[in-house]
Amino acid sequence: MHAHMNSDRFCPVRLHSAYCRERRAGAHRATLRKRACLCFLAAMLTVAAAACAAPPPRGDETRETPFTRTRTELLGTVITISVYDAAPRDAELEALLDACFRAVEEVDARMSVNRADSEVSAVNGAAGGGFVEVSGELYRVLSRAKAIAELSRGAFDPTIGPVMALWKQDGAFARLPSEEEIRERLPLVDYGGLEAEAPNRVSLAGRGMALDLGGIAKGCACDKAVAVLREGGVRHAVLDFGGNVFVMGTKPDGSNWRVGIRLPLAGESGVVCVVEAAEISAVTSGGYERFFERDGAVYHHLLDPKTGLPARSGLLSATVFAPSSTDADGLSTACFVSGLAEGLRLLSESGLEGILIDEDLRVHVTEGLAGAVRVTDARFSLE
């Protein structure tokens, strides 16, 4: 099937220059352990920023203890937004964070496959029956998803829905489908059958096809929340969407945030390496968070669209840095599914930077991050 996508193509974007400032701190690597929630962003972000006592260099009004709000019921993850600006006042920040979470709720309402009234469910219900009018937001996300699918040669595929549904039980990734079930559904996974035409009309070419935007929707929601904060005048903030992180501006003292890449080993907490960052999104995909065990085998939720099975690419995790969390979200999934060599190709062709950690505990970084990554767990080696 052929698709016509005349919306925004995937636009390569370069890594913020702040990532190239840190130099490697010798051969010795200290082991770092934290028991905080490390969906992606290490708790050190909050600690490091709160500890800054020096006055901000640009005269910004900042606070030592961030103004923080957490929600646990959206997009299947824990979302925490921490603002370090002292102005606006607390009452105004309350209203601003309310607006942030309303924006996230809108994404959830439009893109969730678990809601019968979502726009994605409407598109899925009309599969094989022509075009459906959708919001501009969903149209743009589907355009980006299609572009990433093309770039990754299908390693990321927004039409994974028919197969992903086989692995779910009561909405959770907890069911082991039979080989026959997967074989029957695989032909329905085909990003080429996702079509779009302006303004804001999309369709799925074949009956039974279905979208699942679990690999990109959180990035869209994070970008929307960042936009709300910017419109409200916020300059220093950290948004943690459980694996999707955006650091706004710098720390209150003008230095970079320290972003910790989660230790990609199931059952272990902590970080494997640290990168200094400013004004950037960092998204990690790995099979260590959402998985189940059956008869001694482990099945994680990052499916290979070509096999319908959990990806076995030789990687433990893939982290992508980008100004757009939407782009970083889709590409981190694509890199994880693709494996080391293909993942590096994807990053190179998209003009982004990343960190790929393989099953031999080797940490591979792209050229723009050379010298900027510090490994903190002695079991891992920096390549």
Local confidence band at 129 (pLDDT 50, 70, 90 cut-offs): very high
Judge whether 111 lies within some domain.
Answer: no
In the prediction, which pLDDT does 86 show?
83
Judge whether 309 lies within some domain.
Answer: no
Judge whether 21 lies within some domain.
Answer: no
In the prediction, which pLDDT does 89 show?
80
Judge whether 317 lies within some domain.
Answer: no
Judge whether 314 lies within some domain.
Answer: no
Rounded mean pLDDT, 105-109: 97
Judge whether 66 lies within some domain.
Answer: no
The string of pLDDT tens digits covering residues 172-199 is 999 999 999 999 999 999 999 999 988 9
Local confidence band at 237 (pLDDT 50, 70, 90 cut-offs): very high
Local confidence band at 12 (pLDDT 50, 70, 90 cut-offs): very low
In the prediction, which pLDDT does 64 show?
77
Judge whether 26 lies within some domain.
Answer: no
Question: Domain span at residue 180?
Answer: 119-204
Name the residue among 327, 323, 344, 322 with its Cα closest to residue 335.
344
Local confidence band at 60 (pLDDT 50, 70, 90 cut-offs): low
In the prediction, which pLDDT does 267 show?
86
CB-count exposure of residue 26 (10 Å: 0-12, 13-18, 19+): exposed
Judge whether 271 lies within some domain.
Answer: no
Is the predicted pLDDT of residue 1 greater than 80, yes or no? no
Is the predicted pLDDT of residue 8 greater than 80, yes or no? no
CATH of the domain at 126: 1.10.3980.10
The string of pLDDT tens digits covering residues 371-381 is 899 999 999 99
Within 32-82, residue ranges assigned H as helices are 44-50
Considering only 35-44, 94-103, 146-155, 353-362, which range has the smallest mean pLDDT? 35-44
- Say how many residues make up the chain: 383
Name the residue among 18, 10, 20 with its Cα closest to residue 346.
10
Q: How far apart are CA 360 and CA 314, in angstroms?
A: 8
Q: Please give the single-letter amino acid code of residue 186.
A: L
Angstrom CA distances, 15 to 79, 216, 282, 345, stand at 24, 19, 10, 16
Local confidence band at 54 (pLDDT 50, 70, 90 cut-offs): very low
Contact (Cβ atoms closer than 8 angstroms) between residue 365 and residue 357: no
Rounded mean pLDDT, 300-309: 98
Rounded mean pLDDT, 195-215: 96
The string of pLDDT tens digits covering residues 294-303 is 999 999 999 9
Rounded mean pLDDT, 222-245: 96
Helix count and strand count (H, E) for the chain: 9, 19
Average pLDDT in the chain: 86
C-alpha triplet 138, 203, 115: angle, nearest 5°: 55
Contact (Cβ atoms closer than 8 angstroms) between residue 110 and residue 120: yes
User: How many domains would you assign to the chain?
Assistant: 1
Distance of CA 268 to the CA centre of its chain: 21
Angstrom CA distances, 326 to 101, 140, 142, 222, stand at 17, 10, 11, 8
Q: How far apart are CA 212 and CA 302, in angstroms?
A: 12
